[in-house]
Amino acid sequence: MSKRELRTDRAPAPVGEYSQGLRAGDFVFVSGQVGRDPLTGELEEGIEAQTARTIDNVRAVLEAGGATLDDVVKSTVHLKDMSLFESFNQVYGTYFTTPKPVRTTVGSFLPKALVEIDVIAYAPLTSSN
């Protein structure tokens, strides 16, 4: 199975030695995204805005790989402070349809961002992706 790097200017460029995403067969893997605006490079203010921007960034990388949020089967969420969970969860829930992806949410050291999300999507290859 070959893998193909995914790149889009609709999500922030990587700040280290990693890809925004990879397509490997029928799966699309998206690296951890934060609530940084890809045009300005600035983090959004507050957990709700950062969550929305983070998921928009995830969506952009998914689309570069021929997938959508509806194709996401697994997400991993890192929160700077677990007291932000309820506010994060309310926004997160508006982006995913039923059945929602499986999810792991952990408290993590994040230097600047309040939330980081990576996902795995199952999107069988077609002639268009």
pLDDT digits (tens, 9 = 90+) for 42-99: 999 999 999 999 999 999 999 999 999 999 999 999 999 999 999 999 999 999 999 9
Contact 68, 97 (CB under 8 A): no
**Assigned domain for 35 exists:** yes
**Assigned domain for 129 exists:** no
Over residues 86-119, the pLDDT tens digits come to 999 999 999 999 999 999 999 999 999 999 999 9
**Assigned domain for 128 exists:** no
Tell me the two tokens of residue 32: 């951890």
**Assigned domain for 7 exists:** yes
Question: Which domain CATH number covers 21?
Answer: 3.30.1330.40
**Assigned domain for 127 exists:** no
**Assigned domain for 72 exists:** yes
Helix (H, G, I), strand (E, B) or coil at 116: strand
pTM of the shown model: 0.95
Over residues 4-36, the pLDDT tens digits come to 999 999 999 998 999 999 999 999 999 999 999
Residue-number span of the structural domain to which 86 is assigned = 3-122
* The total number of structural domains that make up the chain: 1
* Cis preceding linkage at 99, omega within 30: yes
